[in-house]
Structures are given as structure tokens and as C-alpha cells.
């Protein structure tokens, strides 16, 4: 060990704090916290019989060590969390932003509350229900609530500005408080029933509904009685599927982990009001530190992302520094007492064991899926004769509409899965007219320049198009001196000329173009390799089309309002924010406009949007035909490539 490093180890304080391990290049490779910094850090060099790879290589990897002293363990947890998110060390567990779960929010302070789908909990006085592990689960819950409990689904803005009931009122799924004088007591009775349903309080809810059904029948309100009967049946079927997990009816998060070598799987089981509500697995690789350290760090990061903090948190093992610091931090985040327990027997221990089994099962499934994905990527490397194993791939697509609104998309795939944190949108800056080749050159150049600066380059670039687009991308790589990245072009199948009138039309297969090879490579059209490439290409196309529509929509709105004298960026945003859309601005009267921008400007806006009948007739046609016209306009292999290019 380096003498200076040994001196730092000898001089470590015994106070609480955070330590940062750096490699020989000064890159932070691990961030940890400890109540006693001296004891914790020195333990990595004094443990006997420790066969973990990281510990055996620590002498070679470790180049420097920094420490930051704090007052207590809670401050150490907070600082550790911030440093992990800032530096993203290679040996820490790292939670991505897209791991936040969907939940339901109910603000009962509103006169007519509604359920909102949210991804983050806030201490705003509202009730939160969930989390839900999938969009399908939350859709099923909302389907039952919207059909049988009849709460409004519109936003507050729509509620305040609607002048006539919507379709949901017509089919009996909303009382339309936006336009009808619905008694607040009746509406809040439905809200109370929704809360009981989401909390799983079956007996109270069912008993109340049965009494209301009987009362309605006695009063000869048979339609109302039938509606409550249907509601009752739907609720009973739904609540039957929810299993009782504990008898104390608390909100609990149950954590577990399963590990093989440096690969680890965390699992969180959600229990709400004593009922199992779902769970989620979190896989990590390249993890060499002890389970006790990783578990505490994972729990801290999990709740820092805005996840709901329950009454109890159950862990499978004691964190290395105990549970007091974590308990205090979670209690502060929740605003009330939170217990962090490591149960050894009873119902809570059985819950932990259930979570451990789920963690093991998720680990086995992911290992099998990863092995299959590696085989597909290996075959892809062999078939296309790639230099690199294509673990990280990026696909580019150019999109335009009648030579305007030229944009590009970049989608990424890591280990066979979409990596949405690496998705990018591009507005073409150097090309004014439709030129797919020049546009592709610009986009690839911008991507590679950024990658060279950040040291972040993919293994394979997939270009949507044929020889022309591939040549443009390759030219950008040559001009920047990038030769460590593979690049291929993926051309769509196309109609072939058929001279026999009686024969059915034929299509060419999907083809892969490779630099330096005249003829394309035709992979088996039903192979996993081809499916992976086409799925990535289709995702890039979808992403580009979506962005293009956004750009065109903003362009139309901006031109329609900013051409009016006296309407600048601020007033345009004010009008759109108040009325919700350009269409509603056009439908507003001068008096309604005057309430927002004043009488003088209101008259100019009204005249500007209504004073040109010809334009009014054309706008709906453009709006209606846009979606139909976008797809053909983006068939670059047909319209933008030179003869023989694709």
C-alpha cells in the first residue's frame, strides 16, 4: 500500500462521517458512511477469509481516500445519499429516476376531490394510496372507481371552465359538479367510500352499501338500488383478490435481498392496511461490499426518490451501524414515528421470508433472461462481423413533414433493454431543406462530439436507412476520428415489382448494411437478432414522430398568436394557460379575452383569429391531415435516397 494512503488510514478519526474511496486516476469508486470512520474503513484491510473480488483488489484499486465528518448518523445518511447521486460511483447501488412508482393521490380539501395518478409523494396534506407495481394494476383500480363510485376525472382547470357536461355524465359515471349543483355531502360520501375501498376496509364498505341498497329499494328508487347492487358486487370481487398479510393492519414496506457473487437483487414487498399490495425487484451488478452496507444505502436511496414512507419498515438483517439513524431519518421524512425492525419470529418474520423468496425468484429469472440476451447479442456480433460486443446500442432516425420541422431521435438499448435515460431529441440546425443524408451527418456528429468529451460512446450505432444514411454516419465518424464504434444501417422492407399480374405483391426482407460491404446482410426475419434491431428502429421512429408533432404543434400555435400586434411571448403563454388551447382562445368572446389581456388587446386577438375566413377553413384540414401525412413523409428509403442507396 502507498505510504501516504497508509498514513491516512492510521490518522482516520473515530467520529461519524462519510468516506470516499478513489482509484489511481482520482475517480470516486465508492461512497460509504459510518458511525466510526476509523473502525469501518480499516475493516476492509483487516478482515480475514474475505473472498470478495473487490477486497482482494483493493490494494491495487485504491489510490486515495477522503472523509467528511458530520455530527451524527442521520447527517451521514443524508450526505452519503447526496454524494452517491452526484458522483454515481461504480461500486455503489444506484437507483435510476424511472424507478418511481405510480400511486393515487386524493386531496380531500377540495370541494369535489378527484383521484390523480402521481409518481411522487409530497407532504401536502393529501392522501396517497399505493404504490402500484404496474400501469395495468392502477388501470384496473381506476376502472372500478370511475364506474361505480362516480368521482370526477377532469382537472381543476376543466372543472372551473366547463359549460356543459361531458360524456361521462351522459353514461352515468360522473355527477357533473362542473355544471350541476351537486350537494357536497353526497359527493363526499362517495369520496369516503373510495377511501375505504382503497384501504381494503371490506366489512365497513360492504355493510354501508347494503344498507343504502335496501333503503333505496324501500323508497322505490329501483334504479339507484340496482346501481348500488352492481357497485357492491364489483367491490366484493375486487376485495376478495386481496390477501391478508398481517392482522395489525399497518402500512409496511418489507425489504429483502438475494446475492450471488457481485450480483445482487433487492426486493420490496408492499403491505397496505395489512394487505399485500404488490412488490418490485431491483437488480444490481458489480457490488462487492457487505450486504449490511448495501442494504442501508439502498433503503436510504429508495425513500429519497419520493417513495411513500409507511409506518413500519422491515429488514432481513441488521444494518452495520444499526437502525437508529435510518429510523430517525425516515421519521423526519414522514412527519411522524416510523419503526425500522429486523423481525426474528412471527407474522413480520414470515413477511420478510416471503420477500426473500421473491428476491431469489426475481434473481433466477433475470439471470436466465440475461443469459438469453447475451446469446442474442453474441450471434448479432458474429453475423454482422462487429468489432465490439453490442452491449450498448443507439439508433438514430430523421423525421420531417413536407421538408419542414426536421428533427431527429436517438434511442438507446443496454443489454437488450430500452435505456430511456439515454434517449435524446435533436432539432436539425444546419439543414434547411429536406436532406436526410446531411441531417444524419449533423446528428451523428453532435452525438459523437458529446461522447468524446464525456468519454461516453456506445458499442454500436444503428442508422435507420440504407447505404446513403449509413455513408453519412460513417463520414461523421471518420471526420471525428472515431474508429472504436461499430455502425450499421437498417433498411425497411419495400414492395418489389411483380410482372405476373396474377401473382400477389411481394416485399423485400429487412436488410442490414455494413460499411465496406456492397451487398446487405439479410438476417432471418423471425430471428431474435432481427427482432431486437427492428424493435429499436421502430422505437426511434416513434420517438422522432412524437417530437416532430410537438414541434409542429408549437409552431402553429406560435404563428397564429404572435402574428397579432401586441401579443408577445408572455401574453401568448397567458392566453394558452388560461383557456387551455388555441381552439378555446378562438372560441372565447371579446369579454372573456378582456378578462385575461385587457380590452384593447382582446379586440386585436379576436379580430386576428376571426378576421380571416379562408385561414379558418384551412386550419381544421391541416390539423386533421397531419397525422395521416406524417408516416408517408418519413419513408426515407423511398423519397430521400439516391438510386440504389437502399
* pLDDT value at 1 more than 50: yes
Strand partners, 66: 20
d(CA 517, CA 470): 12
So what's the pLDDT on residue 50? Answer: 52
Q: What is the predicted pLDDT for the residue at 501?
A: 52
Q: Would you state the pLDDT for residue 454?
A: 83
Tell me the pLDDT of the chain averaged across its residues: 82
CATH class assigned to 252-364: alpha beta
Phi-psi region of 23 (alpha: psi -120 to 50; beta: other; left: phi over 0): beta
pLDDT single digits (tens) 413-451: 999 888 988 999 999 988 877 788 999 999 999 999 999
Mean pLDDT lowest among 34-43, 209-218, 221-230, 498-507: 498-507
What pLDDT shows up at residue 245? 61
* Best CA proximity match to 284, nearest among 258, 319, 321: 258
What's the mean pLDDT in 385-396?
95
Q: How large is the average pLDDT for residues 628-633?
A: 35
Secondary structure (DSSP) of 601-628: HHHHHHHHHHS-HHHHHHHHHHHHHHHH
Assess whether pLDDT exceeds 60 at residue 325: yes
For residues 70 and 58, give the distance between their C-alpha atoms in angstroms, rounded to a whole number: 26
pTM of the model: 0.62
Q: Do the domains 385-548 and 252-364 match in fold?
A: yes
528 contact partners, CB below 8 Å, separation of at least 6:
376, 379
Average pLDDT over residues 326-348: 91
- Asked if pLDDT for residue 630 goes beyond 50, the answer is no
Phi, psi of 428 (to 5 degrees): -70, 130
Mean pLDDT confidence for 11-21: 91
Question: What is the model's pLDDT at position 120?
Answer: 79
- Per-residue pLDDT, 588: 86
What CATH class is the domain 3-87? Answer: alpha beta
pLDDT band at residue 239 using 50, 70 and 90 as cut-offs: low
Confidence of residue 19 (pLDDT cuts 50, 70, 90): very high
Indicate whether 58 pLDDT > 80: no
Strand-pairing partners, residue 404, are 401
pLDDT at 556: 64
pLDDT tier at 640, thresholds 50, 70, 90: very low
Query: Of the ranges 77-86, 145-154, 525-534, 610-619, which one carries the lowest mean pLDDT score?
Result: 610-619
Mean pLDDT is lowest, of 66-70, 146-150, 352-356, 522-526, for 146-150
Split at pLDDT 50, 70, 90, the class of 390 is very high
Query: How deeply is 643 buried, as exposed, middle or buried, from its count of CB atoms within 10 A (0-12, 13-18, 19+)?
Result: exposed
The whole-number pLDDT of residue 191 equals: 92
Question: For residue 599, with 0-12 CB atoms within 10 Å meaning exposed, 13-18 middle and 19 or more buried, which class applies?
Answer: exposed
Comparing 244 with 382, the larger pLDDT belongs to: 382
128-132, 408-412, 625-629: range with lowest mean pLDDT: 625-629
Alpha-carbon distance of 544 to 631, in angstroms, equals 11
Check pLDDT > 60 for residue 633: no
Q: What is the mean pLDDT of residues 541-561?
A: 79
Rounded distance, CA 532 to CA 522, Å? 14
Where do the domains of the chain lie? 3-87, 252-364, 385-548, 562-610
Residue range 81-86: mean pLDDT, rounded: 88
Q: Which residue shows C-alpha cell 435524446?
A: 424
Q: Of 235 and 145, which is predicted with more confidence?
A: 145
Residue-wise pLDDT tens digits, 474-501: 999 999 999 999 999 999 877 666 555 5
Cβ contacts of 182 within 8 Å, gap of 6 or more? 112, 175, 176
**What mean pLDDT is predicted for residues 310-317?**
94
Domain range 562-610, CATH architecture: Orthogonal Bundle (1.10)
Tell me, what's the pLDDT at 291?
87
Give the 3-state secondary structure of residue 506: strand
Give 607 or 635, the one with higher predicted confidence. 607
pLDDT at res. 44: 79
Residue 129 has pLDDT above 80, yes or no: yes
Q: Which of 193-207, 253-267, 384-398, 600-614 has the lowest mean pLDDT?
A: 600-614
Q: What angle do CA 211, 215, 220 make, to 5 degrees?
A: 150
CA distance 390 to 298: 29
Band of pLDDT at residue 623, cut at 50, 70 and 90: very low
**225 in Cβ contact with 213 (< 8 Å):** yes
Mean pLDDT of 45-53: 57
Residues 265-285: what's their mean pLDDT? 87
Asked whether residue 303 carries a pLDDT value surpassing 70, the answer given is yes
Asked if the model's pLDDT at residue 543 lies above 90, the reply is: yes
The 10s digit of each residue's pLDDT in 459-469 is 999 999 999 99
pLDDT for residue 439: 93
Range of lowest pLDDT (52-61, 151-160, 258-267, 440-449)? 52-61
**Mean predicted confidence (pLDDT) in 6-26:** 88
So what's the architecture of 385-548 in CATH? Answer: 2-Layer Sandwich (3.30)
Residue 612, pLDDT > 50, answer no
Amino acid at each position: 500500500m502507498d505510504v501516504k494512503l497508509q498514513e491516512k488510514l492510521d490518522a482516520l478519526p473515530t467520529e461519524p462521517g462519510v468516506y470516499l474511496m478513489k482509484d489511481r486516476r482520482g475517480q470516486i469508486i465508492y461512497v460509504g458512511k459510518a458511525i466510526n470512520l476509523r473502525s469501518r474503513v480499516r475493516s476492509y484491510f483487516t478482515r480475514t477469509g474475505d473472498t470478495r473480488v473487490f477486497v482482494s483488489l483493493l490494494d491495487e484499486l485504491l489510490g486515495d481516500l477522503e472523509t467528511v465528518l458530520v455530527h451524527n448518523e442521520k447527517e451521514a445518511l443524508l450526505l452519503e445519499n447526496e454524494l452517491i447521486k452526484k458522483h454515481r460511483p461504480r461500486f455503489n447501488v444506484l437507483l435510476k429516476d424511472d424507478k418511481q412508482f405510480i400511486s393515487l393521490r386524493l386531496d380531500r380539501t377540495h370541494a369535489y376531490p378527484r383521484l390523480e395518478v402521481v409518481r411522487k409523494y409530497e407532504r401536502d396534506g393529501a392522501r396517497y394510496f399505493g404504490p402500484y407495481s404496474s400501469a395495468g394494476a392502477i388501470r384496473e383500480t381506476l376502472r372500478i372507481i370511475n364506474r361505480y363510485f362516480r368521482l370526477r376525472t377532469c382537472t381543476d382547470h376543466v372543472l372551473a371552465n366547463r359549460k356543459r357536461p361531458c360524456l361521462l355524465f351522459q353514461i352515468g359515471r360522473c355527477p357533473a359538479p362542473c355544471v350541476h349543483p351537486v350537494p357536497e355531502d353526497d359527493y363526499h360520501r362517495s369520496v369516503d367510500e373510495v377511501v375505504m375501498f382503497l384501504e381494503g376496509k371490506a366489512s365497513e364498505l360492504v355493510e354501508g352499501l347494503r344498507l343504502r341498497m335496501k333503503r333505496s329499494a324501500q323508497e322505490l328508487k329501483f334504479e339507484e338500488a340496482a346501481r348500488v347492487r352492481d357497485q357492491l358486487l364489483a367491490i366484493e370481487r375486487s376485495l376478495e383478490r386481496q390477501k391478508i398479510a398481517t392482522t395489525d393492519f399497518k402500512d409496511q414496506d418489507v425489504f429483502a435481498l438475494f446475492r450471488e457473487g457481485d450480483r445482487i437483487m433487492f426486493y420490496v414487498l408492499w403491505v397496505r392496511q395489512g394487505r399485500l399490495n404488490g412488490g418490485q425487484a431491483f437488480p444490481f451488478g458489480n457490488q462487492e461490499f457487505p450486504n449490511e452496507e448495501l442494504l442501508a444505502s439502498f433503503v436510504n436511496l429508495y425513500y429519497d426518490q419520493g417513495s411513500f414512507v409507511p409506518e413500519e419498515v422491515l429488514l432481513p438483517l441488521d444494518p452495520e451501524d444499526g437502525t437508529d439513524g435510518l429510523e430517525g431519518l425516515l421519521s423526519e421524512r414522514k412527519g411522524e414515528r416510523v419503526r425500522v425492525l429486523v423481525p426474528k419470529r412471527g407474522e413480520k418474520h414470515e413477511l420478510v421470508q416471503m420477500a426473500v423468496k421473491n428476491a431469489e425468484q426475481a434473481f433466477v429469472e433475470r439471470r436466465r433472461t440475461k443469459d438469453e440476451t447475451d446469446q442474442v447479442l453474441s450471434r448479432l456480433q458474429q453475423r454482422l462481423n462487429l468489432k465490439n460486443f453490442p452491449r450498448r446500442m443507439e439508433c438514430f432516425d430523421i423525421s420531417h413533414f413536407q421538408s419542414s420541422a426536421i428533427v431527429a431521435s436517438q434511442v438507446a438499448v443496454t443489454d437488450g433493454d430500452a435505456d430511456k435515460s439515454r434517449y435524446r431529441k435533436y432539432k436539425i440546425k444546419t439543414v434547411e431543406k429536406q436532406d436526410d443524408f446531411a441531417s444524419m451527418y449533423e446528428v451523428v456528429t453532435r452525438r459523437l462530439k458529446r461522447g468524446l468529451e464525456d468519454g461516453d460512446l456506445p458499442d454500436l450505432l444503428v442508422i435507420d436507412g440504407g447505404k446513403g444514411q449509413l455513408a453519412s454516419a460513417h463520414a461523421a465518424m471518420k471526420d471525428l476520428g472515431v474508429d472504436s464504434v461499430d455502425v450499421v444501417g437498417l433498411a425497411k422492407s419495400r414492395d418489389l415489382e411483380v410482372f405476373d399480374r396474377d401473382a400477389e405483391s411481394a416485399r423485400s426482407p429487412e436488410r442490414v448494411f455494413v460499411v465496406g460491404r456492397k451487398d446487405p446482410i439479410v438476417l432471418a426475419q423471425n430471428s431474435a437478432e432481427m427482432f431486437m434491431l427492428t424493435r429499436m428502429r421502430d422505437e426511434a421512429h416513434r420517438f422522432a414522430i412524437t417530437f416532430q408533432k410537438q414541434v409542429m404543434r408549437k409552431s402553429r400555435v406560435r404563428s397564429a398568436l404572435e402574428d397579432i400586434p401586441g401579443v408577445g411571448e408572455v401574453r401568448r403563454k397567458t392566453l394558452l394557460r388560461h383557456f387551455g388551447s388555441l381552439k378555446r382562445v378562438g372560441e372565447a368572446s371579446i369579454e372573456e379575452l378582456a378578462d385575461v389581456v385587457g380590452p384593447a388587446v382582446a379586440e386585436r386577438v379576436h379580430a386576428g383569429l376571426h378576421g380571416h375566413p379562408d385561414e379558418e377553413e384551412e386550419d381544421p384540414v391541416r390539423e386533421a391531415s397531419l397525422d395521416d401525412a406524417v408516416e408517408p413523409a418519413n419513408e426515407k428509403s423511398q423519397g430521400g435516397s439516391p438510386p440504389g442507396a437502399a
